[in-house]
Amino acid sequence: MINPDEFIGREEELGQLYQLLQNNSRIAISAIAGMGGVGKTELAIQYGRRYLGEYPGGVYWFFLRGGDLAAQLIQFTIARYPNFALPEQLQDPVRQVEYCLQHWDAGKALLILDDVADYGEVKPYLEILPARFQVVITTRRQGLGGRKVQQLPLGVLPRRDALRLLALLVGRERLLAEPWQARRLCQWLGYLPLGLELVGRYLARKPKLALAEMLRGLEKKRIEHLALNKPDADITNPVSIPAAFELSWDELDETARGVMLMLGVFALAPIPWELVEKCLSEMDAEELEETRDENLVSLHLLQRQDKGLYKLHPLIREFCQMKLAETEEQQQFKAAFAHVMLDIAQQIPQQPTRDLILELTPYIPHLAEVADCLTGCLSDEDFDWPANGLGRFYQGQGLYAQAETWYRQCLDKTEERLDIDHPSITANLNNLAQLYRAQGKHREAEHLLLQAIKIDRRSLSTNPLHLAAHLSNLAQLYRAQERYIEAEPLFLEVLYIDQQSLPKNHPDLATDLNNLAGLYYAQEKCSKAESLYLQALHIDYSLPKEHPQLATHLNNLALLYCFQKRYSEAEPRYLQAIDIDRRLLVQHHPQLATHLYNLAMLYSHQERYAEAEGKLQEALEISERTLGEWHLDTIETRKCLETLQQALQGSN
């Protein structure tokens, strides 16, 4: 038992328990419910110790895991009262317990029943308790006893209290010397009191062991680390972390254990339940839900988060992974998870809409888990999809640093795993090049695109549309650098491939027409450019669903009209493009900033300066947020805004 002065982070729960036991029912029964290792027993004992003076009849503690309450009560009575003897005619255990209680000390008493798994086993004895008794039950079962038992859910410690507990065990100076590592250590342990106490005592025995080294050891050996498996004998419940969770595991049937093993494959993040259903598609959905609620959630092995989202405690996830490593089906569980996430990755488009990004967000940590750890479960044709999907997800929001991490990882893994001429390598070279081009890193982008095209032309197995995509991207890069003579033959080759390979109303054909139009516009060949822009828009409008590329094509035609001083034709197209951006893209997408900037320039040409200022301010805010303060687009927008504001001040 912990010294009361060292009992940290549970003052509120002690007060709640006291209030629950003050009700007006004949016998007050309260259950402290929570996962293994959360400190249920310690809370009950500390409550009995703090309020000992309120129980002149005594405070009694009985451990019920694997034990018989009637036998323990009878044995206690015989041991405590030497002259006590049960009448031979009393054979019913309930009547025997009732007789025993008549001989206990008089006055208000507290009965602590520790680790009750089945309320039905203790209910007959609770019903015969004299009114002077109050009862505290600790249990892993949520809702134990139904309405007859008042529930006190017990969670892990808040971060601040977890750090206080660790400081108490290892010394405040060690935590102050490595504050970041101390926070990471508490987080890795999931703020679970048992984990904190075991690791804290281990560190106390090793004063020269750095917290960073302790954390590295835990990350390497996981739940099998010695610190989590050798409890000191003097702690309240001297049990290791695996043993604490094993007690709950033993209560699960084979179906529930299989679900836990599946959950252990997921990332340490809230889990959308629909993903679990897809991974375990052979199970009936209602049976799976029943297993979840009546076993896993009930035993506090799985925590319910928001609607449809569930979460494993970090150490329970480690326990599940330990169990998974012991089973012959571990590869089946991992493969099922990897293929479900593969399907999601393949649904992420190059330009995800705002709604799609919101929909995808809960899946992203689990997609990252597959990209980092489980690509070996996927075929050569599919293994790069998870990282590519993540790259698209982040690039679509203008989060280029995160996107680069995933695209780079994807390229590195394909080069390690596949033949040098494999189409996946050229695709990944192209993806990274496109990201660099969006950031204005033209030299890096050109180098990667030339590599991809060289492989495409060398490989007989290359899909001509892959070559077309890479040629188009290089041509656009040259156009942006005003290398028009180099760009035009590439664009023309792309259109030739499109016309040989695609239907007449394919969106890729619209994109490539738009790109060639952009080249002619840059060269002031306005008639050619307008014709191609209109052809591209004709295809866009023929498609069944609005797409973000329509906004791009409208913007480009508006730019041409603006250049020709056809302002009345340009403005509605800018406005339509911006409206599409606001509806389909994330709130601060760089494309919206570009289109706002262009509309501002139109207003400026028309001397509508107040309207222009508002659009430039919004464009600048988006650019600074997504591209950074020193990106070329941001600098240009800021410069234009400052010039406009100076002009406005001068006119006033």
Nearest one of 481, 491, 429, 480 to 454, comparing CA atoms: 429
Is residue 393 situated within a structural domain? no
**360 vs 286: CA distance, rounded Å:** 25
Strand-pair category, 28-33 with 109-114 = unpaired
Q: According to the 3-state scheme, what is the secondary structure of 32-70? A: EECCCCCCHHHHHHHHHHHCHHHCCCEEEEEECCCCCHH
Is residue 483 situated within a structural domain? no
Query: How far is residue 474 from each of residues 437, 458, 617, 645, measured CA to CA in Å?
Result: 10, 17, 32, 38
Both 14 and 138 in one domain: the answer is: yes
User: What digits encode the pLDDT tens for the residues 478-526?
Assistant: 999 999 999 999 999 999 999 999 999 999 999 999 999 999 999 999 9
Q: What's the domain range around 219?
A: 159-241
CATH of the domain at 269: 1.10.10.10
Nearest one of 341, 324, 226 to 276, comparing CA atoms: 341
Indicate the number of domains in the chain.
4
Both 135 and 168 in one domain: the answer is: no
3-state SS assignment for residue 113: strand
Question: At a CB cut-off of 8 Å and minimum separation 6, what does 620 contact?
Answer: 593, 634, 637, 638, 641
Is residue 184 situated within a structural domain? yes
Strands of the sheet with 28-33, listed across from one edge: 58-63, 109-114, 133-139, 28-33, 150-153
User: Do 90 and 99 contact (CB within 8 A), yes or no?
Assistant: yes
pLDDT at 9: 86
User: Do 631 and 440 contact (CB within 8 A), yes or no?
Assistant: yes
Helices 442-458 and 423-438, axial angle in degrees (round to 10): 160
Q: How many CB atoms lie within 10 A of CB 389?
A: 28
Query: Any idea how long the chain is?
Result: 652
Tokens linked to 390: 């993540």
pLDDT at 557: 97
Both 598 and 652 in one domain: the answer is: yes
Both 215 and 89 in one domain: the answer is: no
Half-sphere exposure of 409 (CA within 13 A, CB side): 21
Half-sphere exposure of 203 (CA within 13 A, CB side): 27
Both 169 and 129 in one domain: the answer is: no
Tokens linked to 24: 């007006």
Which residues on neighbouring strands pair with residue 112, listed in sequence order?
A: 61, 136
Which residues on neighbouring strands pair with residue 303, listed in sequence order?
A: 311
Query: How far is residue 247 from each of residues 200, 306, 311, 330, 531, measured CA to CA in Å?
Result: 23, 27, 20, 22, 74
Question: At a CB cut-off of 8 Å and minimum separation 6, what does 460 contact?
Answer: none
Among 282, 303, 327, which residue terminates a domain? Answer: 327
pTM equals 0.79
Element (H, E) at 150: strand 150-153
Residues of the chain predicted below pLDDT 50: none
Both 50 and 86 in one domain: the answer is: yes
Which residues on neighbouring strands pair with residue 152, listed in sequence order?
A: 32
Among 98, 119, 153, which residue terminates a domain? Answer: 153
Element (H, E) at 592: helix 590-605
Question: At a CB cut-off of 8 Å and minimum separation 6, what does 132 contact?
Answer: 57, 106, 107, 108, 109
**403 vs 398: CA distance, rounded Å:** 9
User: Do 603 and 584 contact (CB within 8 A), yes or no?
Assistant: no
CATH of the domain at 149: 3.40.50.300
**249 vs 235: CA distance, rounded Å:** 23
pLDDT at 589: 87
Q: How many CB atoms lie within 10 A of CB 632?
A: 11
Is residue 435 situated within a structural domain? no
Both 164 and 141 in one domain: the answer is: no
Return the residue matching tokens 């040098």: 420
**390 vs 181: CA distance, rounded Å:** 29
Both 145 and 173 in one domain: the answer is: no
Is residue 288 situated within a structural domain? yes
Among 279, 306, 327, which residue terminates a domain? Answer: 327
Question: At a CB cut-off of 8 Å and minimum separation 6, what does 631 contact?
Answer: 439, 440, 623
Both 100 and 130 in one domain: the answer is: yes
**31 vs 149: CA distance, rounded Å:** 6
Tokens linked to 437: 């081009």
Of the chain, the end-to-end C-alpha distance in Å amounts to 78
E strands within 140-177? 150-153
Strand-pair category, 150-153 with 58-63 = unpaired
Strand-pair category, 133-139 with 28-33 = parallel
Both 148 and 181 in one domain: the answer is: no
For 47, counting Cβ atoms within 10 Å of its Cβ (0-12 exposed, 13-18 middle, 19+ buried), the class is buried
pLDDT at 614: 94
Q: According to the 3-state scheme, what is the secondary structure of 499-553? A: HHHCCCCCHHHHHHHHHHHHHHHHCCCHHHHHHHHHHHHHHHHHCCCCCHHHHHH
3-state SS assignment for residue 81: coil
CATH of the domain at 599: 1.25.40.10
Q: How many helices (H) and strands (E) does the chain have?
A: 31, 8
Is residue 549 situated within a structural domain? no
Q: How many CB atoms lie within 10 A of CB 329?
A: 12
Tokens linked to 393: 């997800």
**198 vs 136: CA distance, rounded Å:** 26
pLDDT at 472: 94
Both 236 and 137 in one domain: the answer is: no
pLDDT at 346: 96
User: What digits encode the pLDDT tens for the residues 569-608?
Assistant: 999 999 999 999 999 887 788 899 999 999 999 999 999 9
Is residue 562 situated within a structural domain? yes
Both 163 and 143 in one domain: the answer is: no
Query: How far is residue 100 from each of residues 75, 110, 116, 470, measured CA to CA in Å?
Result: 10, 16, 21, 87
pLDDT at 355: 75
pLDDT at 236: 66
Is residue 508 situated within a structural domain? no
DSSP characters over 308-359: TEEE--HHHHHHHHHHHHHSTTHHHHHHHHHHHHHHHHTT--SS--HHHHHH
